[in-house]
Each structure stands twice: as structure tokens, then as C-alpha cells.
Amino acid sequence: MGKLYLATIMRSRKIIIAALLLCFIVYILGPFVIIYVKSFSRMWGPTWLPESFGTHAYSIAWRMANIPRIMSNSLIISALAVLISTGIAIPTAWALGRRQLRGKSLLLAMFLLPRLIPAIAFALGIAKIFYRLHLVNTFIGVALAHVSIAAPYSILILTIAFEGLDERLLEASRSCGANARQRFFYVILPLLLPGILTSIIFTFAASYNELPLTLMTYGSKTLTLPVQAYLSIGDGFLDVASAIAVFLSIPSLMILLILQKWLRPEKLVGGLKGV
């Protein structure tokens, strides 16, 4: 009797866990499914499914929104943001991860401040400064705005990577007569490479998908995919906005595949002791 009762409880537990997991999957994937279906729909009223399907939304988005140029703008801005953020993050993370600094927690909190306050409030401040510096509607200007929210990811990831460097390997390289340059390129850099790649991926994703900061600093020359999708929604073209959202999601899906295939979870911070 006791074994039967225990088996019933275990089955019920498995059913509950499976149901919760299914609800979570539907909750996460549901919006994406709706966007993809909406982008191919011609008429979608109050019914569960569209009355007809077609590719007219993609055709309109490709011709009127000039998707190739806008996607090119997004990629250029994201690449600049990645380069600048990584250039800032490496020496900063080295100091935070390898040096005993006073006020380290305060510094990390300051780096996270742009992510903690309302995005639109921070974007308004950035816009005021950039208008005075004539950086609005320039690739470098929009990229610098994105750095304020992308660099914290890079700094945090690389700080963990530097903290995880195995001192035994560094001491061994010194004992073998390696100078500072050789230690960096042949010992430190290979250990940091997974962390650097992870930093680049998250920084790129943050910049590529950024909307509030781009809205405050873009112009006709620097229109990006998130802004174009937002403008299409404002104009009432929801199907076109859905098609643009599909184009917008392609790099994110590629990043997800890269994370799953080439970067194992235990390697994401890089340089872990014993790894």
C-alpha cells in the first residue's frame, strides 16, 4: 500500500513538473510564434488563425523600409559598440579582477547604473549631451550611446574571467622565463578567449536590439531595425512591423545557436581553475 501511494505521488509530481515546463515553454515561445504567423498573414481579425497567408508584408518591408540598408546600419553600429565596449572592458576588468581596489563594489554598481535606471530617462540625458557634441545621426554617436548599456555586460563577464585565471599557470610561465608580452599572448589570452567571445556576443545582442537610446540619437542616416519596427507599429502597419521583427530576430537566433553549439556553459567565463 505504501509503495503504491509513493508511486502515485511520484507520477503526480512528474505530471505537475511537465505541465509547468510546458506552460513556461508556451509562455516563452508564444510571442515569437504569433509574430511569425502575423508576418505571413493577410487578414487576421478576431479569429484564432489568419483568414489567408502571404508574403506581402515582407515585400513591403523590403521595398519601402529598405531592409538591406537598415540592417546594414544595425550591424555597423553594433560592431562599433562591440569594439569600443571590448576596448574599455579589457583594461577595466583587468583592474577589477586582478587588483585589490578600494571601492570595487561601488565601481561595479556605477557600471550597472545605466541598466538600473529607466531607459528613457537615461536616453534623454544622453541625447542632450550628444546634440551639443553633434553626435546625433552619426554611426559613432549611436554606437557610443549603446556602449553605455553594452559595456557593463562586457566588464562583468571579463572581470569574472580575470578573477578565474589560474595563478599556478601564470607563475609557471614566469618561471619558464616568459616576459609580459609572451605571458599575455600565450597564456592569458587563450584562457580569456571564451570569456571574450561571450562578452562580444552579449554586447552585440544588447546593441543590436537597443531601442530607447537609438530613438534619442538616430536620424535618417542611422535608422536601425528596432526603430523601424517601432515606427511601423506607430503607423499601424502591424504586419510589416512583424516582418521587420523577423529580420531583427535572425542574428539573435544565430547567437543562440553559437552559444549552444560552440560555447559550453562551463566555458562561458573562461579561465576557470581546473577547467
Q: What is the pLDDT of residues 66-89, one digit of tens each?
A: 888 998 999 999 999 999 999 999
pLDDT, tens digit (0-9, with 9 covering 90-100), for 214-267: 999 998 899 999 999 999 888 888 888 888 988 888 887 887 777 666 665 555
Whole-number pLDDT of residue 140: 95
**What number of CA atoms fall less than 13 Å from residue 57's CA on the CB side?**
28
Phi, psi of 138 (to 5 degrees): -130, 150
Q: What is the mean pLDDT of residues 54-63?
A: 84
In the chain, where do the E strands start and end?
A: 41-43, 52-53
Whole-number pLDDT of residue 20: 92
Sign of the C-alpha dihedral computed for residues 12, 18, 20 and 22 taken in this order: negative
- pLDDT more than 70, % of the chain: 90
Through-space distance between the first and last CA atoms of the chain, rounded to whole angstroms? 48
Q: What is the mean pLDDT of residues 148-153?
A: 90
Q: What type of residue is 111?
A: F
Mean pLDDT in the chain? Answer: 83
What global pTM score does this model have?
Answer: 0.81
Q: What is the mean pLDDT of residues 17-43?
A: 86
DSSP one-letter code for 265:
G
Look at 181 and 144; give whichever has higher pLDDT. 144
Query: Residue 268 above 60 pLDDT?
Result: no
Distance set, CA 159 to CA 60, 169, 181, 207, 213 (Å):
45, 18, 20, 20, 25
